[in-house]
Structure 1
Amino acid sequence: MKKVALFFLKPLSFLPALLMMYLIFQFSAQTGELSGNLSYEVSYKIVEIGNEVLDKGLDEWTIGQYAYEIEYPIRKLAHMTEYFLLAVAVSFPFYVYGLRGFPLMLVAGLICVAFACGDEYHQSFVEGRGPSVKDVCIDSIGAFGGILTVRLICWLFLTPARVAKRQEAYAYRKMEARRRAQRERRRRY
């Protein structure tokens, strides 16, 4: 029964990756003006929160000026974050299916970079947007970080269980070898 449930549930593990791809596609489908406004609003909110937390007493114009200055880095950080999350969502299911090490990095990396290229191509058809090799590189850095994070988390949390299982199997084989040796000695005498 467990195997049947896993057979049907394993493919669903790719659902978060598909949802993340859909989300990225929707962000890329925004016009240049809409996308720029969203980036500015996020930047403005960050500066506004910083102003309140640090109690700087900045006026609206100064907050707007700082928001304008950090808009570009915030926008690029958003690119990295999107692809970081995509890589995590792509890597975990492959890990569940048994893909580990360099093959995991290669397959998940190729999927994420290919999606980044396709996404930039998609932007060439959106008003006020255009493709950017720089954005593909930024996306790829985020994806690489996501894949490394998955590998690190799986190594930290799953490797001890595998090591314990191997040690248990080794102890069992050793015990069985002793039993066989004892039986063999008894048979000889």
Structure 2
Amino acid sequence: MVKLDRKWALAACAMVLVIWGNSLVPGSGSGSLSLSIMESIRGFLQALGLPYEWVTNFVVRKCAHFTEYMVLGILATHAFDLEGRRTFDVLLPTAVFLLLVPSIDETIQLFVPGRAGMITDVMIDCCGATAGVVLRYLLRSLINTKKAA
């Protein structure tokens, strides 16, 4: 049986609520937020004299998916595997959790005006979550290596 770390589980649940809350925002509100972020990034890059045309609303939205799920992956890994055991009995529930959350997230969007649930977004979300899990284990390994040295 998996033993959850309560504070990290609470943090992961809070992140899920943030993610699902974002999915409840109608398409017009979500789109205007993405556009304002896009314009800010473009302005910043332009001020630095860097190419900025590549920053599109699509890129901003997909990066947001990846990033929020990367954070969730880190939090969930802490919640399910605080000791860094990386065993099947720990990784399986973590993986199931990190697959269910984006699947539910995209299902929520099917019922929100101006939004659409997309399997590609579930895949991007899962890639972000996987990156978070890997990042968390890599950082833990680095910290343990430094402690041992």
**TM-score (normalizing by structure 1):** 0.69
Aligned to 2:121: 135
Deviation of residue 158 (structure 1)?
A: 2.8
- Aligned-pair identity in percent equals 28
Name the structure where helix makes up a greater proportion of residues. 1
Q: Which runs of 4+ in 1 moved over 2 A?
A: 102-107, 158-161
Cα offset, 1:13, TM superposition:
2.5
| SS in structure 2 at match of 1:54 | coil
Of 81, 86, 99 in structure 2, the residue corresponding to residue 101 of structure 1 is 86
Please list, as runs of the form range in 1=range in 2, the aligned pairs for 1:39-54 lying within 5 A after superposition. 39-54=34-49
Q: 1:175 aligns to what?
A: none
Measured after TM superposition, the shift of residue 14 of structure 1 is 1.5
Aligned counterpart, 1:124: 110
1:92 aligns with 2:78: yes
- Contact 2:38–2:60 (8 Å) recurs in 1: yes
Gaps of 5+ in 2: none
Q: Which amino acid aligns with 2:33?
A: L
The letter of the residue matching 2:137 is: R
Q: How many residues align?
A: 144
| Structure ranking higher on relative contact order (CA contacts 8 Å, 6+ apart) | 2
Which of 32, 35, 38 in structure 1 is aligned with 2:30?
Answer: 35
| Aligned equivalents of 1:89, 1:55: Cα separation in 2 | 34
Which residue number corresponds to residue 11 of structure 1? 6
Equivalence for 1:26: 21
One-letter code of the match for 2:65? H
Query: How well do the aligned residues superpose, as a CA RMSD in angstroms?
Result: 2.3
* Runs of 5+ consecutive residues of structure 1 not aligned to the other structure: 1-9, 57-62, 165-189
CA shift at 1:128, angstroms? 0.8
AA paired with 1:118? I
| Distance in 1 (alpha carbons) for counterparts of 2:80 and 2:115 | 33
CA shift at 1:105, angstroms? 3.6
How far is 1:25 from its partner? 0.9
- The TM-score, its normalising length taken from structure 2, stands at 0.86
Partner in structure 1 of residue 101 of structure 2? 115
